A and B are shown apart, each in its own frame.
Chain A
């Protein structure tokens, strides 16, 4: 099973700041990595698929990069609605697995 390790566990930032979230895989997943956002009490929402492709309707301030074992989700300037938990997910090898999440909170 591929283990995805997300860091940091919690990121405390202010409105307008840049957020950089990391996802590291225990073995290469090529570019088969997605990112999801989950706000409190809500279902997750797809942000990025295949490492760097924004999903429909996702603002341009969200971007994804990386390949192999190291991936980054960047939020260029935090908006109030961006404070949430973010999960990465790999589709390189069964079973599909998710990372443990990074919580982005208001500083």
Chain B
């Protein structure tokens, strides 16, 4: 069974940093693009970042470029989202997603981890 399990969310103050993790299982992790998609409370979906199978290419939405970094460890079947200089508007549920949304669809989603940025 394909599983994506996120962790690392929580309540954090503006300008602080946080790292989200996603543990994958049930598929050959190293052969898939991986992505992060977020959803602010009561709002729609927003693609945040994705990373190529071998980690060589990474893409970001403009609003997080320079503040967030996506990375992966294929030996640990894990993908990460390092978030710096967090803003109130970054408050959202962050989903770990299999696929790039570009070369292939977002075909499997984790249950999400909530990040709340508030003073």
What does DSSP make chain B's interface, helix, strand, loop or mixed? Answer: loop
Residue contact B44 to A87, C-beta cutoff 8 Å: yes
State which size class the interface on A falls in. Answer: 20 to 34
Q: Mark B22-62, 1 if CB is under 8 A from A, else 0.
A: 00000000000000010000001111000000000001011
Residue contact A96 to B47, C-beta cutoff 8 Å: yes
Residue contact A87 to B105, C-beta cutoff 8 Å: no
State which size class the interface on B falls in. Answer: 10 to 19
Residues on the B chain within 8 Å of A46, using CB: 105-108
Residues on the A chain within 8 Å of B47, using CB: 89, 95-98
Find B45's partner among A44, A94, A95 (CB 8 Å cutoff). A44
Find A55's partner among B37, B59, B61, B105 (CB 8 Å cutoff). B105
User: A89 CA to B105 CA in the complex, in Å?
Assistant: 9
Can you show 6 pairs from A to B with CB atoms below 8 A apart?
A: A49-B107, A89-B101, A89-B106, A91-B102, A96-B47, A98-B45
